[in-house]
């Protein structure tokens, strides 16, 4: 049927979903907030939203019944229109409905897990205005005004809106809706057959309520002075409860607070956390559930109660299993693997040990990040990773204080919540690339995190309570330790991961990269064979790196091109790759190696350099010219390398007579020192011996052997100091097929720690002074140097 409601015409369906109401009676023309939590009621609401948003609201005879049947509901209810549905934090639904018209249930049935009813509209018919009806309306309105004045739970604004209502039926329903009565009394008003009968019932109810309110007011005045503070609080709470009952908010805050208390009791929290949580829960219980502050407190409690304060995972202590997992995930990397086994041994003997702080240092692509994940898997711990590259804000580590809008804990606490345990393997990636600006210094905040003596009381600004990080196994990664602040570097155990040799890359490609790529590209069901010559061709001429990242990309490119042929319908059982096929698929070689002269040359020496992608061979060229004592350096040289060149020239000038030069030889000369590949920046002191050899060669016209490469820092007194990056430098020399090397004597211990496979076939010459270097690298000694060097000799060691 069609209904005229306000200024619109509404069609009422003959059958509607039924929403049973526990302790509220809805009247026409009124808008009500309802709280819905029962599954069947939610199903009925969902059905209504799918149809025309109309429901039949019927009160229960007994409010405490959770699963009412048709006999447990009143026969007369209200057809209502759903205006808004909002999901609450505790899973219930807050529904805003507008009463339309009375309706009587004809037949109620249960379908698809909810109640529905065929209904008949109860229309009061046209109201004939007469003096009796007007008198009854005025009497009820005056009584209601006095009721509102005596009852502080009903706002005075209702009287203003009531005065503007002219329709008798709408006025009666509005007064009925605002009466604080039980279900039976309100249902009786709703079921009144005529408007006069409704006014009569209202007059009786209002008269009785006014008398009760006057008595309450008298009693309240007589006992108010003697009421204790606790009694007053109880009284106010009861009044607040009554107001919330009418608004349908009666159990949402209480249920939420009870849920928080239950979570607090059912979990083992540290004492300071428990005390802080109880304080915040008490604060939340006294707040309005929709206030901004309650949202802040609620969010804080969710964080503090969901963190894994005392949740730990048990480490896998079977050495064979741990070793098998580590070896299965990575080839080589013996130092970090051995360190993890040592950690397990201490756990087995001591029972509990503070988590070590390991820093894996090495060039890109050697597996620093993946080895952290492998360590977590081998120990059977959770794994979390935090990238520090470009992080400038200290709050990323320590979090924001709760006074800020949108405040959250730092990323360390967030990661622990995500991990679900307090002892994960925590990887700080790229710790050497942490930024610093006006927002703070994250590396300073990390001092507390990475100090085993302090991190058991880590303070996050958001939590306001201390968190114990001492059980976490922290692993950091870096390409270089030079940019790590010294106090932070001092807190970490440095483990260097050297670059891979060519034969190691071949093994890694066969054991790890190729099987992984075949599965990713979809060629795992095809037999694929990479010949050794193909892999060495890719490694030598299409990649230039210490790790295997670029190697993986090149292998992927080759396999993708093969996948295209298969996708086009070509049938093959086996795909083989040799050197020629690699060249055809990848094109011209990208790297052809540094062009090193093959014959002894004047003013030309071969050095060894360390770069972020591994080692490289570094030729140095020097040309003397007529001029006015000017030293020119080109090739994108850094300050330290320029200083090495200056030191080399100063040493030669100091010993000019010994080298057969005039004391003032530099007054009429200009020297130009150039290191090729000028677009590539070069830095560091390790080119000192190479620079002095090339400069002296150019000044004395003495040839330098080009089949020997050298590295070492020099001093003005002629000493050769140790350098770093020897693994990468020796690897570069071996790649260039240079087998004779000059290395500082003080690096002998470092050479002995290198892999035997790397040293095989190399002739290592250990030197203490510059004269030792010159004797090995120059074809002949200039001037009287032979007499000066008598008794000095380079120490040589052939490794095979």
Which residue numbers are catalytic?
A: 686, 729
Where are the extended beta strands (E) located within 112-264?
114-121
| DSSP classification of residue 470 | T
Q: Are 318 and 345 in contact (CB under 8 A)?
A: no
Query: Of 691, 328, 652, 357, which is closest to residue 516 (Cα–Cα)?
Result: 328
The tokens describing 49, both together, are 């939203």
What φ, ψ does residue 627 adopt, rounded to 5°?
-175, -150
What's the CA dihedral at 295, 299, 304, 305 to 10 degrees?
Answer: 90
> Can you say whether residue 669 is alpha, beta or left, with left for phi > 0 and alpha for psi between -120 and 50 degrees?
beta
CA pair distance 690, 605, nearest whole angstrom: 6
Which residues make Cβ contacts (< 8 Å) with residue 270, sequence separation at least 6?
309, 310, 465
Using CA atoms, how far residue 508 sits from 330, 375, 516, 544, 562, in Å, is 8, 18, 11, 16, 21
Q: Tokens 């140095």 label which residue?
A: 620
CA pair distance 475, 158, nearest whole angstrom: 67
- Length of the chain equals 800
3-state SS string over 150-166? HCCCCCCHHHHHHHCCC
The tokens describing 772, both together, are 């030792």
Using CA atoms, how far residue 652 sits from 628, 674, 691, 700, in Å, is 17, 18, 11, 11
The tokens describing 470, both together, are 């001492």
| DSSP classification of residue 501 | P
Q: What angle do CA 595, 597, 599 make, to 5 degrees?
A: 165
Q: What angle do CA 292, 297, 300 make, to 5 degrees?
A: 130
Give start and end residues of each alpha helix (H) in 568-680.
579-586, 639-654
Q: What angle do CA 236, 242, 244 make, to 5 degrees?
A: 105
CA pair distance 284, 288, nearest whole angstrom: 8
Which residues make Cβ contacts (< 8 Å) with residue 673, sequence separation at least 6?
620, 621, 622, 631, 632, 633, 634, 645, 691, 694, 695
Cα atoms in the 13 Å half-sphere on the side-chain side of 623: 8
Query: Of 22, 121, 34, which is closest to residue 73 (Cα–Cα)?
Result: 22
CA pair distance 234, 217, nearest whole angstrom: 17
Q: Are 545 and 551 in contact (CB under 8 A)?
A: yes
Q: Are 694 and 605 in contact (CB under 8 A)?
A: yes
Query: Of 2, 28, 22, which is closest to residue 81 (Cα–Cα)?
Result: 28
Where are the extended beta strands (E) located within 260-335?
none
The residues with which 795 forms a beta bridge, in sequence order, are 766
What's the CA dihedral at 178, 179, 180, 184 to 10 degrees?
Answer: -120
| Interior/surface letters 633-644, b for 16+ CB within 10 angstroms, e for the rest | bebebeeebeeb
- Report which secondary-structure segment, H or E, holds 279: helix 271-285
Cα atoms in the 13 Å half-sphere on the side-chain side of 600: 13
3-state secondary structure of 378: helix
3-state secondary structure of 694: helix
3-state secondary structure of 266: helix
């Amino acid at each position: 049927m069609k209904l005229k409601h306000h200024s619109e015409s509404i069609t009422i369906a003959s059958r509607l979903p039924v929403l049973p109401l526990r302790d509220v009676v809805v009247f026409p023309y009124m808008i009500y907030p309802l709280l819905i939590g029962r599954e069947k009621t939610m199903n009925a609401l969902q059905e209504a939203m799918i149809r025309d948003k109309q429901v039949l609201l019927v009160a229960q005879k007994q409010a405490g019944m959770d699963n009412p049947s048709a006999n447990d509901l009143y026969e007369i209810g209200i057809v209502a229109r759903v205006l808004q549905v909002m999901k609450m934090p505790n899973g219930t639904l807050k529904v805003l409905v507008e009463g339309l018209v009375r309706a009587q249930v004809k037949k109620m049935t249960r379908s698809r897990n909810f109640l529905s009813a065929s209904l008949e509209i109860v229309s009061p018919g046209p109201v004939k205005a007469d003096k009796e009806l007007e008198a009854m309306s005025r009497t009820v309105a005056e009584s209601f005004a006095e009721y509102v004045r005596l009852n502080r739970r009903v706002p005075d604004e209702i009287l203003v809106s009531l005065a503007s209502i002219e329709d008798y039926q709408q006025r009666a329903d509005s007064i009925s809706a605002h009466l604080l009565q039980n279900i039976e009394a309100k249902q009786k008003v709703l079921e009144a057959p005529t408007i006069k009968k409704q006014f009569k019932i209202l007059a009786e109810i209002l008269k009785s309520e006014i008398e009760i309110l006057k008595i309450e007011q008298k009693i309240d005045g007589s006992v108010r002075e003697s009421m204790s503070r606790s009694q007053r609080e109880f009284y106010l709470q009861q009044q607040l409860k009554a107001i919330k009952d009418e608004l349908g908010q009666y159990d949402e805050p209480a249920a939420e607070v009870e849920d928080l208390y239950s979570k607090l009791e059912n979990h083992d929290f540290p004492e300071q956390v428990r005390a802080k949580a109880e304080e915040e829960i008490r604060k939340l219980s006294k707040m309005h559930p929709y206030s901004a502050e309650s949202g802040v407190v609620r969010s804080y409690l969710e964080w503090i109660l969901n963190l894994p304060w005392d949740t730990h995972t048990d480490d896998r202590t079977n050495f064979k299993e741990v070793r098998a997992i580590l070896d299965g995930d990575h080839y080589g990397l013996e130092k970090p693997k051995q360190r993890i086994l040592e950690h397990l041994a201490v756990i087995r003997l001591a029972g509990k040990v503070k988590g070590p702080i390991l820093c894996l240092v090495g060039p890109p692509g050697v597996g620093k990040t993946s080895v952290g994940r492998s360590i977590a898997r081998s120990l059977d711990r959770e794994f979390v990773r935090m990238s520090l590259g470009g992080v400038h804000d200290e709050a990323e580590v320590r979090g924001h204080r709760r006074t800020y809008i949108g405040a959250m804990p730092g990323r360390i606490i967030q990661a622990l919540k995500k991990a679900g345990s307090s002892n994960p393997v925590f990887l700080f990636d790229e710790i050497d690339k942490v930024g610093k600006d006006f927002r703070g210094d994250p590396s300073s905040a990390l001092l507390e995190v990475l100090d085993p003596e302090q991190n058991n009381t880590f303070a996050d600004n958001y939590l306001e309570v201390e968190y114990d990080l001492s059980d976490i196994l922290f692993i950091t990664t870096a390409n270089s330790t030079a940019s790590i602040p010294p106090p932070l570097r001092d807190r970490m155990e440095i483990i260097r991961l050297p670059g891979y040799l060519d034969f190691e890359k071949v093994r890694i490609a066969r054991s790890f990269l190729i099987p992984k790529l075949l599965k990713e590209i979809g060629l795992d069901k095809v037999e694929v064979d990479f010949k050794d010559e193909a892999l060495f061709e890719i490694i030598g001429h299409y990649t230039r790196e210490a790790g295997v990242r670029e190697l993986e990309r090149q292998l992927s490119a080759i396999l993708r091109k093969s996948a295209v042929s298969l996708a086009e319908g070509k049938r093959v059982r086996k795909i083989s790759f040799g050197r020629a096929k690699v060249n055809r698929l990848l094109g011209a070689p990208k790297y052809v190696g540094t062009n090193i002269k093959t014959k002894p040359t004047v003013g030309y020496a071969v050095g060894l350099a360390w770069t972020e992608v591994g080692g490289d061979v570094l030729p140095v060229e020097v040309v003397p010219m007529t001029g006015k004592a000017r030293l020119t350096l080109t090739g994108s040289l850094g300050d330290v390398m320029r200083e090495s060149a200056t030191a080399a020239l100063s040493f030669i000038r100091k010993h000019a007579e010994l080298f057969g030069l005039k004391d003032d030889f530099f007054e009429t000369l200009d020297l130009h020192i150039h290191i090729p590949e000028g677009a590539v920046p070069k830095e560091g002191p390790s080119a000192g011996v190479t620079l002095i050899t090339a400069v002296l060669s150019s000044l004395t016209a003495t040839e330098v052997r080009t089949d020997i490469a050298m590295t070492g820092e020099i001093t003005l007194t002629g000493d050769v100091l140790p350098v770093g990056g020897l693994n990468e430098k020796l690897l570069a020399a071996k790649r260039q097929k240079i087998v004779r090397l000059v290395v500082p004597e003080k690096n002998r211990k470092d050479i002995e720690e290198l892999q035997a496979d790397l040293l095989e076939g190399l002739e290592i010459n250990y030197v203490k002074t510059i004269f030792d270097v010159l004797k090995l690298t120059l074809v002949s000694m200039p001037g009287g140097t032979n007499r000066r060097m008598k008794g000095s000799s380079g120490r040589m060691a052939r490794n095979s």
